[in-house]
Structure 1
Amino acid sequence: MHRRTLLQGSALTLASPLAAPRLASAQGSARTLRFVPQGNLANIDPIWTTTTLARNHGLMVYDTLFGLGRDFQPKPQMAAGHEVSADGLIHKITLRPDLRFHDGEPVLAKDCIASVARWSKRDVLGLRLSALLEEMRPTADNAFEIVLKQPWHGLTWALGKPSANICAIMPERVAKTDPFTQITEYVGSGPFRFRASQWVPGSLAAYERFAGYTPRDEPADFLAGGKTVHFDRVEWRVMPDPATAAAALQNNEVDWWETPLADLLPLLRRNRDIAIEVVNTAGALGMMRFNHLHPPFDKEAIRRAIQPAVEQKSFMQAALGEDPALWQVPAGAFTPGTPLANDVGMEAVTGPRDPEAAKRALAAAGYKNEKVVILSPTDFPTLNALSEVTAD
């Protein structure tokens, strides 16, 4: 069974290994998928937070107006059609018929307008929309217009992008929640209903198939196309300890482990009933993010001075081992293989690595050996390994 997964990295791209039994043993007539996510689902508002876990949760519960295909181009998802005026200022979006929320109410233009408005206050591309927006107005229950002050060809891409924050469509009453406050009602129109009463942070999150969901009548195409549901129930079973997750997988206590630890892959490969695959060949692009507001990294010269000491390969080996099939270097500001990827400025990461030159540059930039604190999620083994290399 083929499944998608994303893995975070550090200024480079990581392919995404996953481990799962071959699912020949069905979970009885209920068809339940037992899934071990990459970490704890601590927050479930895909607008309030940018975590990958909340994004993955959001894509199960909510739907989006557009979705990116494998060619990284936006395609209609909830939208039945999209028209742009000759001057590029008016985008008219018509909704597919029979879209319904999990509470049985129809999805209307007013819900989409409120959802886009809330998203636009938190997301980077949403903020771009806010700056260019003249108004959003319904033209019918199933249609609305986004009117811009100047043309922006990236609008549909922004509304359908897979990265956080996704533009999740919610009922108007929920979408009117202050974007800087977490929602308390979890109603979407996506293929699964979130069972909030069964949610135990740090242990379990449960989803049930939404019988009222109608996928597009076309093949699946990354986040575009028809989202066909094959399970009646999905359980996210949180297991931050890799050894525990590996044992559960081998004992058929779970069906799918999203991000197996690289050190355990040889053990799992020896089990004929477990399939290990790299599905997301684009990988994920991460970064070292400096605190630009406070010393020492409030100085651009100090941020630049560190570059000669950064060896991307060392980060990858610490996170995913020696197998280069699981990672790719070098990587710049854009994920390799995607439309925006290019070689401009790549000499900053491909040139000779020289820690001593970095030390001299730091001194020249005014660094005075101030203490540097690194924030890292210790319950994410891969990210924690990257932070340890950063500290070294």
Structure 2
Amino acid sequence: MSVLALSRRSALGWMLTTLAAAVIGMPGIALAAGEDSSVLRMVPQADLKILDPVWTTATVTRDHGFMVYDTLFGMTDKGEIKPQMIDTYSHSADGKEWTFTLRSGLSFHDGAPVTSADVVASLKRWGSRASVGQLLLSATKSIDAVNDKTFKIELAKPFGFMLDALGNPNNPLFIMPKRIAETPGTTQITEVIGSGPYMFKKDEYSPGSKVVYLRNPKYQPRKEPASGTAGGKKVYLERVEWVMLPDAQTQANALVSNAVDLIERIPPEQYPAFKKDPNLVLDKQVGQGSIVMAFNHLTAPFNNPKIARAAMLAVNQQALMRAQFIAPEMYSVNPSIYANGTAYWSDRSAGFTGKPQFAEAKKLLKEAGYDGKPVVLMAPTDHSTHNKYPLVMAALLRQAGFNVDVQTMDWQTEIARRAKKDPVEQGGWNIFTTGFFAVDMMNPIVMAPLTGTGDKGWFGWPSSDKVEALKMSFIEEMDPAKKKQIATALQEEALSKALFVPLGEYVPYTAMRKNISGLIKAPVNVFWGLRKN
């Protein structure tokens, strides 16, 4: 080997050592774990501060839920609903009485057996918050435990979405112990006990720094191959650590230097470098992601539909997505509320094109009597796939005639604040942006922004009796062509009132070191099946 080659190798080694030292010096990080095949260190897509998957729809909390809890049914990577905790089930000829029996050997992390009473309590708590859960409970006459392993759901009216509701991965029905599940859905739980493949290590939980999960030695995976959130959830790692790193460059340095093994969602600006690095693999575990903008419809000015629509017409999807994701192959535009490529996608979008219509927006503001009061747009500084949208959106809104107050905060603070219904003067908000996966935006029943109506709905609390009626018609209709017509009419209503606004779609790449394998294709991020060689 030449002296020049040796010199270059030495320089490279010095650089990686320096990067590793910089990352290791951060709180909660040590390189030693990166060399242990039983420990996986990963950077989650956001910090985990809210542990209750019923109280919030935050993606990182859902990821946490799939680590700790199990579900009655799961969804394969092909979209099929399959039994998970359930062994057998049946229903009456008219579809109004459903009977379910749990698998044998299910137990919670504290050693207690999973019983039907736990399921009933979990179902009721979930149904008080989740969109599809609310619809299921509204159609239900009773939910009862028959014995420790069997429970029944008796419907008051037809509900053709039963298994889809119980197995939906976008807002999952996680099964908790009865004593925990009896906590009202409006109150966050304080104890994390599930029956899933990993156990939450409370004594090592440090928000902003680290979350630790241990393999559940008593977990009994199904015999079927793992697929999506269904099948055998096999765990080959003794310990998984979620390491919170503050910015895109630090995350990249940690992955390149082997201080972490995986980044759940790559910082977009690192895509070109990661793609060229021979030690890394870029993979797409889930389908495309969808970005939306939500308004607080309970308070001024967006309690006026004309003003909400004016803000919607200021949207420039191409500019927003380009600013956040940079590489053209990482994003696309989509004016539909339904994800591209899904069954109910439609281009009938009530005049919304995803391109700015500033003249029309200004006209609507004048008609509505907008008084120039600043609208508060929340901007997360620590979320690498959400931090650019608010800045670009603020500029677009100003061009349309809005006075905008961009308030920066970390993502978890934004998640907590968006639950506040108060006026801005009392700590409330007017606008925020957030993201979902394709499975979250495939039909109007699972779509979080269309949960409920008014102050009983999702964050932003849009209200439309017509949307609610169309949702019920969608559930009851069995003809595919008519379901498509209903879904299209619902989209037109939602966009005409600017209940929420689609901003575009992106590719949520996961980056791993080459010695990591077993990433399961799924509708949402899941982390069983991983091996470290």
Check the 8 A contact 1:102/1:210 in 2, yes or no: yes
CA–CA distance in structure 1, aligned partners of residues 256 and 157 of structure 2: 56
Equivalent residue, structure 1, for 2:364: 361
Residue 28 and residue 384 in structure 1: after superposition, are their counterparts in 2 closer, same or farther (change >3 A)? closer
Q: Residue type of the partner of 1:169?
A: I
Q: How far has the Cα of 1:357 moved from its partner? A: 2.5
CA–CA distance in structure 2, aligned partners of residues 291 and 32 of structure 1: 43
Alignment match of 1:301 (pick from 290, 300, 306): 306
Equivalent residue, structure 1, for 2:113: 106
Q: How far has the Cα of 1:320 moved from its partner? A: 0.8
Q: How far has the Cα of 1:90 moved from its partner? A: 1.2
Listed as ranges, the gaps of 5+ residues in structure 2 are: 1-31, 396-533
Check the 8 A contact 1:118/1:176 in 2, yes or no: yes
Structure 2 counterpart SS, 1:380: coil
CA–CA distance in structure 1, aligned partners of residues 288 and 257 of structure 2: 29
Equivalent residue, structure 1, for 2:206: 200
State whether structure 2 residue 134 is matched by structure 1 residue 131: no
Deviations 1:169-219 (A, max 9, x none): 011111112222222221111000010111011100000110111111112
Structure 2 counterpart SS, 1:341: coil
Deviations 1:149-183 (A, max 9, x none): 1111112212221223x211011111112222222
Q: How far has the Cα of 1:346 moved from its partner? A: 6.8
TM-score (ref. length: structure 1):
0.88
Matches within 5 A, 1:208-227: 208-227=214-233
State whether structure 2 residue 336 is matched by structure 1 residue 313: no
Q: Residue type of the partner of 1:38?
A: Q
Listed as ranges, the gaps of 5+ residues in structure 1 are: 1-24
Matches within 5 A, 1:262-301: 262-280=268-286, 282-301=287-306
Equivalent residue, structure 2, for 1:140: 147
Deviations 1:347-369 (A, max 9, x none): 5225x642223222322233232
Q: Residue type of the partner of 1:321?
A: I
Question: Could you tell which deviates more after superposition, 340-349 or 77-86?
Answer: 340-349
% identical aligned pairs? 38
Question: Could you tell which deviates more after superposition, 145-154 or 81-90?
Answer: 81-90
Q: Residue type of the partner of 1:240?
A: P
Question: Could you tell which deviates more after superposition, 193-202 or 308-317?
Answer: 308-317
Which structure dedicates a bigger proportion of its chain to helix?
2
Check the 8 A contact 2:43/2:263 in 1, yes or no: yes
Deviations 1:239-275 (A, max 9, x none): 1211111111111000001122211222233321111
TM-score (ref. length: structure 2):
0.65
State whether structure 2 residue 196 is matched by structure 1 residue 190: yes
Q: How far has the Cα of 1:26 moved from its partner? A: 9.1
Q: How far has the Cα of 1:27 moved from its partner? A: 4.9
Structure 2 counterpart SS, 1:292: coil
CA–CA distance in structure 1, aligned partners of residues 356 and 189 of structure 2: 46
Alignment match of 2:330 (pick from 312, 326, 331): 326
Check the 8 A contact 1:332/1:346 in 2, yes or no: no
State whether structure 2 residue 174 is matched by structure 1 residue 168: yes
Greater RCO structure (CA 8 Å; 6+ sep): 1
Structure 1 counterpart SS, 2:379: coil
CA–CA distance in structure 2, aligned partners of residues 27 and 239 of structure 1: 16
